[in-house]
Amino acid sequence: MSRTTTYPDPRKRRSREAMERALLELVAERDLSALSVSDVTRRARVHRTTFYEHYTDVHDVAAFACTQMFDELVDATPVFHLAGETDPERGHEELTAVFAHIGEHADLYRALLGPEGSARVIDHLLRRINVAVHVNRVGTTAPTHADDPDEVPHDPAAALLSGALMGVITDWLRRGCEGTPEELSTAVAQHFAGAVGHPA
């Protein structure tokens, strides 16, 4: 799944946006497993044929909506330098923003990252987090992660930290998002900074 999906045809783009927006609204009302293609097309006011021009099923549109939304979040996140960082407050605001976003859309993320979820979405989020952590470790002149590359060199420390962050996210979702994003970020940030070390 690419980081961004662009369509030169404005009508197709509007249709996709309408269906993904409808999916997000519906997931906030009831479980993803209870939604049908008709539910999405009715809410988005598009025909079923239009739906199948873009997606295979409801889980497919959910996966696209989720990854697109997560990419937009990461793109807007400021880059900060982690190399040699020992300040437990380093990255605190950025982590809080990530957890706040996950909490706001908890129903969707819980459905896609849980036992009956999407391996495609899990892989996409893990890869995107890994790239962002690597960029934070090695540094860049870019102000945000919007210009992050699609792939980065092998970086075991970044892989360790991105995997740990995904573990925190899935555990938090499984527990019903106990505590606030601020509290979770405070608990995680100090370990995050302390585990970084210097890039090879």
- Buried (b) or exposed (e) across 48-78, using 16+ Cβ within 10 A? eebbeebbeebbbbbbbbbbbbbbebbbebe
What local confidence, expressed as pLDDT, does residue 88 receive?
54
pLDDT, tens only, 27-63: 989 889 899 999 999 999 999 999 999 999 999 999 9
Q: Is 168's pLDDT higher than 80?
A: yes
What local confidence, expressed as pLDDT, does residue 9 receive?
78
What local confidence, expressed as pLDDT, does residue 96 receive?
93
E runs forming strands in 1-136: none
pLDDT exceeding 90 applies to what percent of the chain? 68
Q: What's the predicted TM-score (pTM) here?
A: 0.84
Q: Which two tokens stand for residue 11?
A: 């009508």
Alpha-carbon distance 67 to 73, whole Å?
A: 10
Binning pLDDT at 50, 70 and 90, where does residue 1 land?
Answer: very low
What distances in angstroms separate CA 90 from CA 8, 78, 97, 102, 196, one per listed residue?
40, 12, 13, 20, 11
* One-character DSSP codes across 118-141: -HHHHHHHHHHHHHHHHHHHH--S
Q: What average pLDDT is seen over the chain?
A: 87
Radius of gyration of the chain (CA): 18
